[in-house]
Amino acid sequence: MFIKKKEYNLLEKSIEQLNKVLQEGNFVELSYLLGNKKEMFKRNLFAGIFRGVGIGIGVTIITAILVIILQKIVTLNIPIIGEYIADIVEIVQRSR
């Protein structure tokens, strides 16, 4: 009886570990996607579109903030840095 209890506890621990690994790896979701190619295609298509739009918006916002900061630095009239920053801001404004 004592040996069976040890085996039972060992088996229970193994099953719990397997369950944990499968949940962490999103195995159920992966098996669903592998079975349905159209669903996988749609998901990847939408994910790519949204990532692209997000990157575009993010880069635009960061660039705008940097240009505003550079314009503020130019107005401080720092002798050497101001000239370089004024040139950079002018180039960016011409490219718009």
Query: Tokens 């705008």 label which residue?
Result: 64
Q: What is the mean pLDDT of the chain?
A: 82
Secondary structure letter of residue 78 according to DSSP? -
Confidence (pLDDT) at 95: 81
Q: pLDDT tens-digit profile of 30-52?
A: 776 677 778 778 888 999 999 99
Mean pLDDT of 15-43: 77
Give the helix, strand, coil percentages of the chain, each rounded to 5.
90, 0, 10
Per-domain boundaries in the chain: 1-35, 51-96
Distance CA 21, CA 15 (A): 10
- 70 close to 88: Cβ distance less than 8 angstroms: yes
